[in-house]
């Protein structure tokens, strides 16, 4: 197709699922956010736009806010039959029109491919951080620390509302997750633990497994209870549990500027890998010229 091919753009619907699945699985230019949900789980959450030509779906861009005002790019898929830059610009224009007037919205992305990073930079996205990948290789589990009054137990469904509040206190807005996403995380967890002190939940962790090994997906400790060893013991607990299951390769991600987390993971025996991915943000507040 030529650069001047006119695409029809509309919101995605459930009947588009199979066509979108084909693009996601068979096309080269596909970005999928590191997420608890699969890209197609976001159908019927908006904005989720598709571009078609002669009724054939050839591209898609989805970035529904979750939590409110934070819209990660969950999916970008573009057929190799199309001009990548022009197709992105048409879809991106629709997204900005959708959010026009909502000046609190931040649109964010973690590109893992150079072509997507170039598209973001060409549209005013700003580099704000990097996600650092770390790996624990099972050589040695540090000794558990004694923390007076600390109780750790398995997480249960009734804890999630409290955990959402803890999550909001602990993380910057861009990294928070909503209660609905916590439910997805809880349902996919291989190990989920809460730490209690003074009769309240002061920390938690959620870990998953795959054919690659274990992954510490979420760790939070209430700011008032930091530096007591709670995070250390939560990680110690999952290392022991994974070891008993024969899972010896465990990964974790954190932000490059999160020095407290980096120090904790390194103390537990995690080492940085060569994988590091940039984080970009686009603020609608500073782009209200539409």
Q: What is the pLDDT of residues 154-212, one digit of tens each?
A: 999 999 999 999 999 999 999 999 989 999 999 999 999 999 999 899 999 999 998 88
* pLDDT tens-digit map of 211-248: 889 999 999 999 999 999 999 999 999 999 999 999 98
Q: At what angle do helices 114-121 and 84-99 cross, to 10 degrees?
A: 50
| pLDDT range class, residue 103, cuts 50, 70, 90 | confident
What percent of the chain clears pLDDT 70, i.e. is strictly above it?
Answer: 97
Mean pLDDT of the chain: 93
Predicted confidence (pLDDT) at residue 87 exceeds the cutoff of 60: yes
Residue 3 main-chain phi, psi, to 5 deg = -65, -20
pLDDT at 250: 96
Cα dihedral value 177, 236, 141, 133, nearest 10: 10
Say if domain 133-277 classifies as CATH 3.20.20.70.
no
pLDDT at site 205: 98
The answer to whether 153 and 265 have CB atoms below 8 angstroms apart is: no
Structure token pair of residue 280: 């970009």
Q: Work out the average pLDDT over 244-254.
A: 93
The SS3 call for residue 145 is coil
- Is residue 66 scored above 80 in pLDDT? yes
152 pLDDT higher than 50? yes
pLDDT for res 4: 61
Question: Same fold for the domain at 8-123 and the one at 133-277?
Answer: yes
Query: Looking at residue 289, what is its pLDDT?
Result: 43
Peptide bond into 48 cis (omega under 30): no
- For residue 2, the model assigns a pLDDT of 56
Q: What is the dihedral of CA 92, 94, 98, 103, to 10 degrees?
A: 40
The average pLDDT across 103-126 equals 96
User: What is the pLDDT, as a whole number, of residue 287?
Assistant: 66
User: If you classify domain 8-123 with CATH, what class do you get?
Assistant: alpha beta
Mean pLDDT in residue range 130-150 = 92
Listed by start position, the domains of the chain span: 8-123, 133-277
Task: Please say whether the beta carbons of 99 and 107 come within 8 A.
Answer: yes
Q: What is the pLDDT of residue 3?
A: 58
Would you state the pLDDT for residue 1?
60
Q: Residue 147's pLDDT is what?
A: 95
Phi, psi of 214 (to 5 degrees): -95, 160
State pTM to two decimals. Answer: 0.92
- Distance separating alpha carbons of residues 58 and 234, to the nearest angstrom: 45
Strands 106-109 and 271-283: antiparallel
Q: For residue 290, what pLDDT is reported?
A: 35
pLDDT cut 90: percent of the chain above it: 88
């Amino acid at each position: 197709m030529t650069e001047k091919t006119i695409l029809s753009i509309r919101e995605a619907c459930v009947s588009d699922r199979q066509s979108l699945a084909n693009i996601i699985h068979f096309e080269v230019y596909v970005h999928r956010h590191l997420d608890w949900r699969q890209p197609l789980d976001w159908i019927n959450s908006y904005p989720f736009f598709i571009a078609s030509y002669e009724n054939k779906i050839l591209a898609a861009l989805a970035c529904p806010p979750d939590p409110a005002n934070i819209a990660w790019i969950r999916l970008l898929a573009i057929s190799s039959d199309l001009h990548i830059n022009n197709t992105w610009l048409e879809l991106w224009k629709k997204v900005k029109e959708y959010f026009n007037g909502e000046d609190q919205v931040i649109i964010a992305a973690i590109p893992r491919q150079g072509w997507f990073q170039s598209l973001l930079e060409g549209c005013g996205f700003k580099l704000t951080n990097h996600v650092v990948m770390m790996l624990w290789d099972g050589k040695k589990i540090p000794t558990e620390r004694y923390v007076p009054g600390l109780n750790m137990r398995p997480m249960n469904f009734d804890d999630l509302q409290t955990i959402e509040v803890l999550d909001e206190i602990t993380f910057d807005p861009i990294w928070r997750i909503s209660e609905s996403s916590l439910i997805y995380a809880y349902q996919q967890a291989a190990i989920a633990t809460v730490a209690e002190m003074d009769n309240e939940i002061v920390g938690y962790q959620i870990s998953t497994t795959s054919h690659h090994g274990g992954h510490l997906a979420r760790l939070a400790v209430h700011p008032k209870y930091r530096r007591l060893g709670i995070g250390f013991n939560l990680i110690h607990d999952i290392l022991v549990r994974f070891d008993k299951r024969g899972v010896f390769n465990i990964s974790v991600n954190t932000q490059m500027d999160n020095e407290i987390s980096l120090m904790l993971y390194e103390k537990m025996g995690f080492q940085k890998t060569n994988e590091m991915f940039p984080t970009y943000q686009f603020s609608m507040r500073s782009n209200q010229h539409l």
